[in-house]
Structure 1
Amino acid sequence: MKIAFYGSSLVSAYWNGAATYYRGLLRALAEKGYDITFYEPDVYDRQKNRDIDPPEWCKVVVYEGNVESLKRATEQAATADVVVKASGVGFEDDFLLEQLLRDARPEALKIFWDVDAPATLAEVRGAPDHPLRGALAKIDMVLTYGGGDPVVDAYRFIGAQECIPIYNALDPQTHQPVPAEPRFTADLGFLGNRLPDREARVEEFFLDPASRLSDQTFLLGGSGWQDKPMSQNVNYIGHVSTRDHNAFNVTPKAVLNISRASMAENGFSPATRVFEAAGAGGCLITDYWEGIELFLKPDEEVLVARDGRDVADILAGLSQERAKEIGQRALQRVVAEHTYAHRAETVDLLFRRHAENLEAAE
């Protein structure tokens, strides 16, 4: 079965938080026998900042950031059994969706795969004439990487025939325990780019605890924080390549996950970072969001903070021994239940069910 997948980027994680999700899930689907081509535009300097080579398990087609190149790319959808348009591709997203629905074969399974459903839904709610509203009638299913019932209900309300969450997970081939690296030594580490929907929560959950705990060290990685006021015990190291994420997650006593505000409000939206940290055996402190117990058990496999004071209290009372125990329990849980191989089983069933329904209708 051939899949034509149109997304932001598979080969570059530069300003592209969906890269890990794409890689883990599509690799798992390829291992199940799917023939996958990933189409991505050459925008935002992603191609200049590749962190992996095109993989053997997926063909990667990079098209130029202009309309003519986009049209040539979407024409290739006519050869696919499954056509996927992801959210947030980054170049002419609405036009890309329109072209794909035009170029895909009538019998092909057509999917809108939303990797940031809260943002997409907020945009659609504010625009009664949003192109996605009209397109949903031609789309067979919406898949999302999180959101639970609030997102499912919202998508059905605006016209989706079917909406199913396919959650983030662990890719054991890229995220696993590694030796600690001295450059990442800290009591608490946080890795994330500076984004408007996240900044206030980073202040509350990371920078404020740092100012309270002057005797502890904090490590901040990610782009855009260079002019952000922070206490002297915060070591800002800028962009951290994906090849260093395992060491970043396992070296500090604990690492912090901070959901964007919209993700926390919807719940059931574990960030990629949750599984990356657990997969490395790191001790994770996360902000609270509804549904976390479906993925990791609070106080045993993950530590949960409702505000910055909680983070400070947890960190002040956390021993190295307990941190290691929590990290090991989290690793065991995600390997047993939350890998991309598990997620691919669900996706494979959805694809096969659609194919069976088509055959029955003929």
Structure 2
Amino acid sequence: MNIAFYGSSLLSSYWNGAATYYRGLLRELAAYGHATVFYEPDAFDRQRHRDIAPPDWCAVVVYEATEDGVRQVLSQAARADVVIKASGVGVFDDVLLTGILGHARSDALRIFWDVDAPATLATLVQDESHPLRAALPHLDLVLTYGGAEPVAAAYRTQGAARCVPIYNALDPMTHHPVPLDPRYRADLTFLGNRLPDREARVDALFLMAARLLPTQRFLLGGAGWNDKPVPPNVVKLGHVPTAAHNALNVSARAVLNISRDSMARTGFSPATRVFEAAGAGACLITDAWEGIELFLKPGEEVLVVHGAADLAELLGELTPERAAAIGAAALRRLRAEHSYKRRAAQLHALLLQAMARRRAVCAA
């Protein structure tokens, strides 16, 4: 099938945590013969911070973040068998959403792909006039990158005909073990952009643990933290490009995952960092959220903490040997059960089923 995909960015992970998710899925989806064109705006300085060159498994069109630029790329939707609008493009989101419905052919699949479903659903509850509310009954499918049945049920309540989670996963071509890098040696590393619904959790867990362990070294990576007050044993790295993720992850004794507020409340929403860190063989520590055991086994493949004191105590006891064993176990689990190859197989089957239903409707 020919797929038109309107998203934030495939080429840059700068202020764009979904980049590796898109890359892993679309690369594997190409193996099924699907041809995807990814449309991304020239916005938020992302094109100056590209992580990858345009790949051979997906065409990329970068358009001006203007009304005229959006109109031009939306006109291309009529050529596609599948038209996808992802959440969080960042500019003209509402125009893109209504535009795909207006420009897609009657026999084409219309899909909304939500990479931040808990937050989106909270907005829908608060705003009865949100454009997505009106669009949902006209969409063939809503895809999310987490949330399980709670999110799927909530979307059905809002009017979606069908909602299916396509979880984050490991892309072993991008995230894998590498030699240690002395620049990134640390007792604990956290990588994540500074966002309003994450910052308080970073304060309460990561930075508080650093204060409790003043002799240990902590690394804070991600965009937006440059003016954040931190303890003296915390080193701020700024944006870390995808190519440096593996060295960053393997060079720390442990890597911390901190969920955003909405995802922690909903559960079943593993962040991309979970798979990226564990996929490099790092010892992953995560804050507690429902459903973690579906992806990694607590105590053996991941360590789960419930607060800064808990985290500080764990770090005080965590030996390099145990950390290495946990990282190795997690890597084995992800390679066996949670690869993007498996996710793409699920997505391919979904597209075929949805297309069969769409064609039956058109033929009736």
Fold-level match, TM-score > 0.5? yes
What is aligned with 1:31? Answer: 31
- Does 1:74 find its partner at 2:74? yes
Matches within 5 A, 1:270-349: 270-349=270-349
For residues 359 and 17 of structure 2, what CA distance do their matches in structure 1 show? 37
1:102: how far off?
0.6
Match of 2:174 in 1: 174
Give the root-mean-square deviation of aligned CA atoms.
1.0
Deviations 1:82-122 (A, max 9, x none): 11000011111111111110110111111000000112112
1:147 aligns with 2:154: no
The equivalent of 2:63 in structure 1 is 63
Q: Which stretch of the first structure deviates more once superposed, 315-324 or 237-246?
A: 237-246
- 3-state DSSP of counterpart to 1:40: strand
Once the two structures are superposed, what CA deviation does each residue of 1:217-237 show, in whole Å capped at 9, x if it has no partner?
Answer: 111111222222222111222
2:10 and 2:183 mapped to 1: Cα distance? 28
Q: Does 1:15 align with 2:15?
A: yes
Relative distance call for 1:220 and 1:358 in structure 2 (3 A) is closer
CA distance in 2, matches of 1:203, 1:154: 30
2:81, 2:108 within 8 Å by CA — same for their partners in 1?
Answer: yes
What is the alpha-carbon distance in structure 2 between the residues aligned to residue 215 and residue 134 of structure 1?
Answer: 55
Identity, in percent, stands at 62
Count of residues in Structure 1 that have an aligned counterpart in Structure 2: 362
Alignment match, 1:356: 356
Gaps of 5+ in 2: none
| Structure 1 letter corresponding to 2:172 | P
The within-5 A match list for 1:160-171 is 160-171=160-171
1:239 alignment partner in structure 2 = 239
Partner of 1:252: 252
Q: Equivalent residue for 2:201? A: 201
Equivalent in the alignment of 1:107: 107
In the TM superposition, what whole-angstrom CA distance separates every residue of 1:227-282 from its partner, at most 9, and x where no partner exists? 22222111222221111000111001000000011110000000000000111000
Q: Which amino acid aligns with 1:71?
A: R
TM-score, structure 2 length as denominator?
Answer: 0.98
Q: Matched residue of 2:325: which SS?
A: helix
Letter in 2 for 1:126: Q
SS of the counterpart of 2:68?
helix
Cα displacement (A) at 1:358:
4.0
Farther-moved stretch of structure 1 (174-183 vs 44-53): 44-53
Instruction: Using the TM superposition, give the Cα deviation of residue 357 of structure 1 relative to its aligned residue in structure 2, in angstroms.
Output: 2.8
Structure 1 residues 180, 49: CA separation in 2 closer, same or farther (over 3 Å shift)? Answer: same
Cα deviation per residue 1:142-177 (whole Å; 9 max; x = unaligned)? 000011122111111110000110000011110000
Structure 1, 200-209 or 318-327: larger mean CA deviation: 200-209
Residue 46 (structure 1) aligns with: 46
Q: Which deviates more, 254-263 or 144-153?
A: 144-153
Distance 1:195 1:75 in 2: 33
TM-score (norm 1): 0.98
* Alpha-carbon distance in 1 for matches of 2:358, 2:87: 26
